[in-house]
Structure 1
Amino acid sequence: MSIKVSVVVPVFNEEDVLPLFEDRLRPVLDALGIPYEVLAVDDGSRDATPAVLEGMRFRWPELRVVRLRRNSGHQNALTAGLHRARGEYVVSIDVDLQDPPEVIAEMLRLAEAEGLDVVHGVRADRSSDTPFKRWTAGAYYRLVRRVVGANVPADAGDFRMLSRRAVDALIGLPEHGPVYRLLVPWLGLPSGEVTYARQPRAAGRSKYPLAKMMRLALDSITGFSAAPLRLATWLGCAGIALCVLLGLGVLAAYWWGDVVPGWSSMLVVLVFLGALQLLCLGLLGEYVARIFTTLQGRPAYVVAFDSEMLATR
């Protein structure tokens, strides 16, 4: 029997929340009355997550466990799930239950009724997040919409439904280190939105601390825009213009005979120019690093175990 809906769930050190996730997701999918599968991609968990997933798999026949050999990151774990999903529609959702599984039924109805290839889950209410989280998330979406384009839905993370055509298009892209919240809108496929209230994390701790959020923002910008390189050019031009003005000021002071030892001003100028050069080199280095990683040709993830392969033996 062909599978109608595949649900891809990246998992990393989530032993506490997995039973709660099963209690919420399974009734929703069973109520749809259609063939489905759930792909739990274990991204190299180091706690009891593998054991919990094995227990879930024996009592939930539709659950399929894919285990990666090492922690490859949320987006790469999502890639592993997308590459193995067999459903006519594929839903990606996090396991922390901040994105309610009950919305999946609404996504499916909208996709089928309007013939959509993409249905984004958009967070209309983020009151459950901390003020700092709301501020940083708002700054991220404002930045990427300004740099990448306004086609990126505001407050849409990785909770979405994709048609088989959309999934095949993503798989066919030679993308290394994808950021799906930007890559999916880039496809330009017919899309819609379903809004929901973001809920508090059901259990455990967030796997996206500030450092990872900053890394995501940097990957989003360098992977989809050359604006930082142009920023380096404009900063260089501004530095040159400032040096010219300072030079003119020095000449005017010399002409009027108002010359005093100015080691402090010279130090400020040197520090400013040095910082400007380091900033430009850093921006260039980010792009060179992406080129280097792509040329290496190493896989973004390595699968150690797939329960589907065991079932077919």
Structure 2
Amino acid sequence: MYDEEAALPALVCRLRPVLAALDVPYELVAVDDGSGDRTAELLAAFRTGWPELRVIALRRNCGHQAALTAGLDRATGAYVVTLDADLQDPPEKIPEMLALARAEGLDIVYGVRADRSSDTLFKRWTAGLYYRLMGRLAGHPVPAQAGDFRLLSRAAVDALKRLPDQQRVYRLLVPWLGFPSGEVTYERAPRAAGTTKYPLSRMVRLTADSVTGFSAAPLRLATWLGAGAFLVCVALLGYTLGAYALGLTVPGWTSLFTGVLFIGAVQLLCLGLLGEYVARIFTAVQNRPAYFVGHDSARPGTDPSAAPDPSREDAVTRG
């Protein structure tokens, strides 16, 4: 959760009865991703009367996938469900997910949107394009219309924790595991309150991380663009020699100018694609933690005002 003080009361009112009705021991891990509003204050107040609530406060805003990593790293249950705090994904589907996983021996149960009629035309088109593109580039099936609302078994969570990926995209990592999986459909509701914390810029970044993290296709694209540029250059060379033989060198300036522009654009594009991969290598070499935990209510020794602990307990190098 990030700046969700407006949505928290509604989340508690809906989620707590659902979890209590499961009639099994549970732990609710609330990851506060460096909120600047009263989210942390409200979580502390709710925890006084809800012992199953565990609050993990990150020292700064690290991003959605890093916050998910923090929760998965510290969750202890036999099954773990990831859920955003905005109530667009209904917590009432959790019992159905758990029942399906137990009945069929599944390690993963995806929450899949039945329809996207509530989204704008642009959002529906870009979402469909993303899932089709990822399915082709990742080399393994990616459940269409499945976001980060899912159930994972302990075996799946432990497998994810062992992966060395720095910049994680769980929408692709989880299917990559290849564990037995199922689906539960639902209709996504509007936000309970507040404004979206996932604007277009973050969606573009997620797409870039997905492409560069799971496929070498952009590098191959650079190769094909280079080959195409070479062919264009050969054609322009033939045209230039013909124009020179006919004494029409001045009119050839337009073609030469166009060719230089085209080749320059292709070179810059290829350099940009290579730069994305070099940046990922640079991030991996730095090996910086994806997040720092400032406070964990299950560990009384941690305090939000204390200095960051560089140990593995506080600094996690996976993202």
Q: What TM-score, normalized by structure 1, do the two folds share? A: 0.94
Equivalence for 1:202: 192
How far the C-alpha of 1:127 sits from its partner, in A, is 1.4
Pick the aligned partner of 1:135 from 119, 125, 135: 125
SS in 2 for 1:194: strand
Pick the aligned partner of 1:39 from 11, 29, 33: 29
Equivalence for 2:209: 219
AA aligned opposite 1:72:
C
Pick the aligned partner of 2:164 from 174, 187, 198: 174
**Counterparts of 1:54-133 in structure 2 under 5 Å?**
54-133=44-123
How far the C-alpha of 1:312 sits from its partner, in A, is 11
Equivalence for 2:289: 299
How far the C-alpha of 1:153 sits from its partner, in A, is 0.5
Q: Which runs of 4+ in 1 moved over 6 A?
A: none
Pick the aligned partner of 2:16 from 18, 23, 26: 26
Structure-2 change in CA distance of 1:278 and 1:252 (3 Å): same
Distance in structure 2 (CA, Å) of the matches to 1:131 and 1:149: 28
Question: What residue ranges of structure 1 are gaps of 5+ in the alignment?
Answer: 1-10
Distance in structure 1 (CA, Å) of the matches to 2:29 and 2:301: 14
Question: What residue ranges of structure 2 are gaps of 5+ in the alignment?
Answer: 304-319
RMSD over aligned Cα atoms: 1.5
SS in 2 for 1:67: strand
Equivalence for 1:262: 252
How far the C-alpha of 1:130 sits from its partner, in A, is 2.0
Distance in structure 2 (CA, Å) of the matches to 1:44 and 1:233: 42
Pick the aligned partner of 2:179 from 163, 181, 189: 189
SS in 2 for 1:36: coil
Number of residue pairs matched by the alignment = 303
* 1:237 matches 2:208: no
CA deviation map 1:60-116 (0-9, x unaligned): 221110001111110000000001000000000111111111111110010000000
Distance in structure 2 (CA, Å) of the matches to 1:173 and 1:147: 20
Distance in structure 1 (CA, Å) of the matches to 2:138 and 2:13: 38
How far the C-alpha of 1:311 sits from its partner, in A, is 8.9
AA aligned opposite 2:210:
S
AA aligned opposite 1:202:
A
How far the C-alpha of 1:233 sits from its partner, in A, is 0.5
Percent identical among aligned pairs is 66
SS in 2 for 1:247: helix
AA aligned opposite 1:108:
L
How far the C-alpha of 1:225 sits from its partner, in A, is 0.5
AA aligned opposite 1:152:
V
Distance in structure 2 (CA, Å) of the matches to 1:294 and 1:252: 52
AA aligned opposite 1:225:
S
Distance in structure 2 (CA, Å) of the matches to 1:42 and 1:231: 39
* 1:252 matches 2:242: yes
CA deviation map 1:258-291 (0-9, x unaligned): 4434333322221111111111011001001111
How far the C-alpha of 1:150 sits from its partner, in A, is 4.5
